[in-house]
Amino acid sequence: MDVSLVLSALAEPTRLAAIQIVWDGGEHCVCELMQRLEATQSRMSRHMGVLKAAGLVVDRRDAQWVRYRRNPNLPHELAAIVDAALVALDGGSKRAAA
């Protein structure tokens, strides 16, 4: 896996927000991500494709929807990058609210 692909995938706000949702370990359909992130189906699918190409998520087709979840085989070193980005994201929100 390529660290630069991971960093590039996380650099876009919608993708970072999507990772924040799927990083809980559950499965999330595109419809849920669309609603929570206020994105169109085509935009959300494109962003999830980038996250999948970076190896951060895996998908599963379920009737007309695609469900995404955290890649269980993601190397620990790359998962640590995502974890750090999410900690920084949460820390930034808390500082902004203070």
pLDDT 10s digits, 74-95: 999 999 999 999 999 887 555 4
Residue reference for tokens 């929807």: 65
Token pair, residue 93, equals 């929100």
pTM: 0.87
pLDDT 10s digits, 14-35: 999 999 999 999 999 999 999 9
3-93 topology per CATH? Arc Repressor Mutant, subunit A (1.10.10)
